[in-house]
Structure 1
Amino acid sequence: MRAHLPILPILIPFAAALLQMAWPRLAWQRAIGLAATVLLLLASAWLTALCDDGLLRVYALGDWPAPYGIVLVVDRLAAMMTLLCAILGVATLLYASAGFDERGQHFHPLFQLQLVGLCGAFLTGDLFNLFVFFEVMLLASYTLLAHGGGLARTRAGISYVVLNLIGSALFLIALGLLYGTLGTLNLADMASRLTQPGHDAALARIAFALLIAVFALKAGLLPLSFWLPPTYGAAGAPVAALFAIMTKVGIVAILRVQAVALAPAMPDLLTGWLTTLALATIVFAALGALTADRLRALAAWLVLLSAGSLLLVPAATDERVVAAAIYYLLQSTLTGAAFFLVAGLIAVQRGGCGDDFRAGPPTATWVKLAFLVVAASSAGLPPFAGFVGKLMLLTALRQTAAGTATWIVLLGAGFLVMAALARQGCILLWKPPLERAPQPAAAVTWQQATATLLLVAAAPLLAILAGPLSDYAQRTAGQLQAPGAYVAGVLGAQAAATGNGVRR
């Protein structure tokens, strides 16, 4: 069982999707989906615990070794991201099972396929299969975005589909150029060949630049980020909460490609321009948060701001910066997802006023407290995880070339976000209504309350566990920044594997 553990995060949701399509009754689909996501959580937790020994797990599908076969590569970063995906999957599916899944067809199979794409993108060691898992993830997200209908979701869905189709076309072009230049799409084999003579270095550089552009589109880097706020803001609360990890797929892909392939062969490819655009993305997101007219739209701008903050990291190529970014990635993803669920609860309790920034019916005290927790963490206020993550990131980035500009932008953006949250939160939760809501408020179900509180609890919990989590992040960054061990483990060089602590 342990030998096949790396493929379980992909097989479990895929099998669940097949079972749900075979039994279309909603009650059966809910039971299968919840059971599968809990199994995914347990398998991911087991995989994360196993990978904490620092050894690389390489799973060759069909027993075909790399670079000829498809491999899944599990290190600390991949295991951590699958666990994060499973946590979000359990919480958001529980929330959706309170009635959101009844608003359209095939929600549950598509939700499981979304998990297949997310987990596969984190685990694959081959760029072509990264493209395949990207497409699985995106195809499911297209329909999940439109679930429940509505003009806003249709408009957002059209731009989302068009831009991602363009990104997919560029991805294929980049893969074709890389295969034509290097003769392989396995990331480890590619890294090995890049350090050897006999290939067209200029063409390989162009191909990698296209690849990074595609990942930047998925992550929401300016000027490729205009699609993200309206798309996430229009999605239903549980769908948007799951989407909070989708921008991280592009960021993790950039980190992986940069550490394994670019740092040894093309160390200057990301220098300068990525940091500048990341800072511009942060400013753009902070200003967008000030202009948001709904709480879910504000949460979408905060997801973009966290993506911009994380995109400062790949160009730094410093282990301390990467370690700080891993902790920041954890807390920002969970806080962003919690924000969408809190916005959904506020919309439910305010009836026809929804989560618009206008006075409406009062919300429950515990919902107001949940909003205060996620708002404070999103703004980077102590004692929550947002403060710890931002402090770690600022401290690590202080010694980089753009350290001064980074501090000014991040602190300024934090001030703008704090002002937006304070102003709009007072209107949303405490200003008395001048007239009755056009629609009566609905009751919050136990599924919605439990799922929201599970994610809201991450803000204080990650701060309490900041010590062990930062130690884990440091070990994860050290493993990520050791491309020789990754290449040796995937390609099965036994002598090198023994010396670098790599297990097949």
Structure 2
Amino acid sequence: MSHLAIIPLLLPLFTGIFLLLLREQRIYVKRTISGISSLALIAVAAKLLCTVSDGTITVYALSDWPAPFGIVLMADRLAALLVLTTSLLALFALIYAMGGTDRQGRQFHILFQLQLFGLNGAFLTGDLFNLFVFFEVLLLASYSLLLHGGGRKRVRSGLHFVVINVVGSSLFLFAAGTLYGVLGTLNMADLAVKVANVSPENIGLVKTAGLLLFVVFALKAALLPLYLWLPSAYSQTSAPAAALFAIMTKVGAYSILRVYTLIFGNEAGPLANLLDGWLLPMALTTIIIGSFGLLGSIRLRQQVAYLVVISAGTLLTSFSLNSVAGIAAGLYYLPHTTFATAALFLLADLIIKRREQMEDRLEAGFVITQQKLLGAIFFALAILASGLPPLSGFLGKFMVLRAALEHPAVPYIMLIVLTNGLLTVIAMARSGSLFFYEAHAVDRSTNTYTKQGPAEPLRVRELLPILSLLGLCIVMTFWAGPINNFSLEAASQLLDTPAYINAVLGQGAQ
């Protein structure tokens, strides 16, 4: 039995524990350990992706207890893709944090590694209860990271964040308890078998539990009307934490995709396609509301937070098509939007450091240092976020719209997605104009000349993560063909429910 599937969990977990023992050490020691661990995690994730790229479903039974009696980890193309996306994002967020953010609290690197443990665990688990456990790890680590550095606004946003997510956790427990009480299992493969053969008198209970799970996952994914916690939380936290949080809504989207194709998918008998009629309208409405929030934002970080909301709606619109082409389009769009929004959060922090008291308010201010370079990066990221050609944002949205051509709701999908693209262009153009084009060297209140903003130099440690994330999106543009082919294979494998069940239950952990 290969141990490769559990290493993405053990590596950040043991790193976090080791850092906890060294919490009194100098920051350079912590940075070195955390950085080496993040690099190793990328190597492991890449190896895992190569291992499953031929269609192999890697099943790991902890303590060698066969499913459904023991805890099972499962890695297929979809899970491996998300683990690699998380690992790449984490490395660049960590490099940026080493510029000084990690000095604001002794526990930053510990919490960062525990966050990775929770993220990778959520993507790799094959058990519904352990999905709940990893959600809780995510909640605790993300709440602490959100408050890292302190401040009244962060505490207030963090309070809203934790209260809403605790309610979601309670609903998760109710749903999982109901499923276990009725079906006697929480292993996802075994649930798929039991749900398909559920007795008529228990259909109502199982359906209720399934819809409760959807509420929890929709909360994590920031779907309307459960997105209200996100703009405030993401716009108030530190830039590296916000960049890492760009993948957190994808955990909710992944959970919806996994659970409602496997357990409540086409093979689920009377409970087949449980979310038909629910997911697509909610996803499209999320795009609409997110677009209004984007236009109404008064700060750049708030704008980027609404871009995360919009991306969640677009991603789940693609998944709701319930077709190989639709899911594949979403799998291409997912890493693109994760890298692009993370880079924007980091860029916003660089802009804030140079505008002093004006911070990231959408108002014309003084000329800032390195304005041309920062403006060029902003322009490229705005193109990515808006979905303009020729970069990966355009390709991702084009794939989504092409996959929707056969869907009955294609007029609504086309109208909303394309209109959102136009509104995003308007919003980002306004922000770029205020920050870079209309910036002035004369204080208009006193009509006196002033020099540029604070001479804050651009350090490699700050600029490298942003350019690297931008570079990943450019790589996705040039390698769109191979990545799309992989996404199509991952989508086909995801919809092949019997193959998943046979891998987990029929072959155990072999």
TM-score by length of 2: 0.94
**Is this contact kept in 1: 2:279–2:317, CA < 8 A?**
yes
Would the aligned equivalents of 1:282 and 1:308 in 2 still touch at CA under 8 Å? yes
Is contact 2:375-2:432 (8 Å) kept? no
In structure 1, how many angstroms separate the alpha carbons of the residues matched to 2:326 and 2:145? 35
**Which AA in structure 1 matches 2:300?**
L
| Structure-2 residue corresponding to 1:237 | 239
Q: Distance in 2 between matches of 1:15 and 1:493?
A: 30
1:305 aligns with 2:310: yes
CA–CA distance in structure 1, aligned partners of residues 209 and 123 of structure 2: 21
Whether 2:435 is the aligned partner of 1:424: answer no
State the distance in 2 between where 1:20 and 1:442 align. Answer: 31
Cα separation, 1, equivalents of 2:483 and 2:83: 16
Q: Is the 8 A contact 2:367 2:453 kept in 1?
A: no
- Aligned with 1:33: secondary structure? helix
User: 1:39 Cα shift?
Assistant: 0.5
Asked whether the 8 Å contact 1:216–1:251 carries over to 2, the reply is yes
What is the one-letter code of the residue matched to 1:362?
A: I
Offset of 1:259 from its aligned partner?
Answer: 1.1
Q: Is residue 186 from structure 1 mapped to residue 193 from structure 2 by the alignment?
A: no
Question: For residue 112 of structure 1, what is the amino acid of its counterpart?
Answer: Q
Matched to 2:123, the amino acid is F
Counterpart in the other structure of 1:500: none
Could you report, residue by residue, the CA deviation over 1:290-316 in whole angstroms, capped at 9, with x for unpaired residues? 111111111110010000111113432
Name the amino acid aligned to 1:425: G
> Could you say which residue in structure 2 is the equivalent of 1:201?
203
Q: Which residue of 2 aligns with 1:72?
A: 73
For 1:200-279, list aligned pairs within 5 A: 200-263=202-265, 264-265=267-268, 266-279=271-284
Contact 2:59 2:74 in 1 (8 A): yes
* Aligned counterparts of 2:16 and 2:474: Cα–Cα separation in 1: 34
Question: Quick check: 390-399 or 242-251, which moved more?
Answer: 390-399
1:397–1:406 contact (8 Å) kept in structure 2 = yes
2:417 partner amino acid? L
1:378 partner letter: A
Cα displacement (A) at 1:456: 1.3
Secondary structure (helix, strand or coil) at the match of 1:180 reads helix
**Aligned partners of 1:132, 1:488: CA distance in 2, in Å?**
25
Cα deviation for residue 348 of structure 1 reads 2.1
Aligned to 2:486: 472
- The residue type paired with residue 187 of structure 1 is M
Distance in 2, Cα, partners of 1:292 & 1:228: 14
Offset of 1:75 from its aligned partner? 0.0
Per-residue deviation, 1:493 = 4.4
Question: Which residue identity lines up with residue 8 of structure 2 in the other structure?
Answer: P
Deviations along 1:306-335, one digit per CA (max 9) or x if unpaired, are: 001111134321111001110011211111
Question: Which runs of no fewer than 5 residues in structure 1 stay unpaired?
Answer: 495-502
Counterpart of 2:397 in structure 1 is 390
- AA in 2 matched with 1:213: V
Per-residue CA deviations over 1:178-197 (Å, capped at 9, x if unaligned) read 00011000000000111224
The within-5 A match list for 1:30-49 is 30-49=31-50
Structure 2 partner of 1:487: 501
2:352 pairs with 323, 344, 347, which one? 347
* Structure 2 counterpart of 1:13: 12
| SS, match of residue 311 in structure 1 | helix
Paired-residue identity, %: 43
Q: Which runs of 4+ in 1 moved over 6 A?
A: none
Equivalent positions of 1:121-200 (< 5 A) are 121-198=122-199, 200=202
Opposite residue 421 of structure 1, the aligned amino acid is M
Q: Whole-Å Cα distance in 1 between the matches of residues 411 and 63 of structure 2?
A: 51
Which letter does structure 2 place at the counterpart of 1:393? V
**In the alignment, what sits opposite 2:411?**
404
Deviation at 1:350, TM superposition (A): 2.6
Pick one of 362, 372, 379 that aligns with 2:379. 372
Aligned match of 2:366: 360
SS in 1 for 2:224: coil
Query: Residues 365-388 of structure 1, C-alpha deviation per residue, up to 9 Å, x if partnerless?
Result: 222111111100100011111000
Distance across 2 between alignment mates of 1:72 and 1:224: 29
- AA of the residue aligned to 1:180: G
Instruction: Determine if contact 1:352/1:439 at 8 Å carries over to the other structure.
Output: no
Cα distance change, pair 18–439 in 1 and its aligned pair in 2 (3 A): farther
> SS where residue 464 of structure 2 aligns?
helix
1:327 is the counterpart of 2:341: no
Deviations 1:260-313, CA, capped at 9 Å, x for gaps: 111121224211122111111000001111111111111110010000111113
Aligned to 2:317, the other structure's residue is in SS state coil
Find the aligned partners of 1:293 and 1:243 in 2 and give their Cα distance: 21
Q: Which of 285, 299, 303 is 2:290 aligned to?
A: 285
Q: Which residue of 2 aligns with 1:499?
A: none
Deviations 1:154-181 (A, max 9, x none): 1111110100000000000000000001
SS at match of 2:2: helix
CA contact (8 A) 2:356 2:454 kept: yes
**Aligned mates of 1:467, 1:197 — CA distance in 2:** 42
Number of corresponding residues:
495
Secondary structure, counterpart of 1:398 in structure 2: helix
Q: TM-score, length-normalised on structure 1?
A: 0.96
Query: Quick one: distance in 2 between partners of 1:178 and 1:487?
Result: 18
Q: Distance in 2 between matches of 1:335 and 1:314?
A: 20
Question: CA offsets, 1:7-51, max 9 Å, x none?
Answer: 110011011101111112222111110010000010000000111
The residue aligned with 1:81 is 82
Q: 1:227 & 1:344 partners in 2: Cα distance?
A: 21
CA distance, structure 2, for counterparts of residue 60 and residue 212 of structure 1:
27
- Give the distance between the partners of 1:387 and 1:77, measured in 2 at CA: 22
CA RMSD of aligned residues (A): 1.6
- C-alpha distance in structure 1 between counterparts of 2:335 and 2:282, whole Å: 22
Work out whether residues 322 and 477 of structure 1, in 8 Å CA contact, stay in contact via their aligned partners in 2: yes
- How far residue 458 of structure 1 moved from its aligned partner, in angstroms, is 2.1
- Whether contact under 8 Å (2:297, 2:303) holds in the other structure is yes
Instruction: Answer whether contact 2:160 2:229 (CA < 8 A) is retained.
Output: yes
Larger mean Cα displacement after TM superposition, 260-269 or 31-40: 260-269
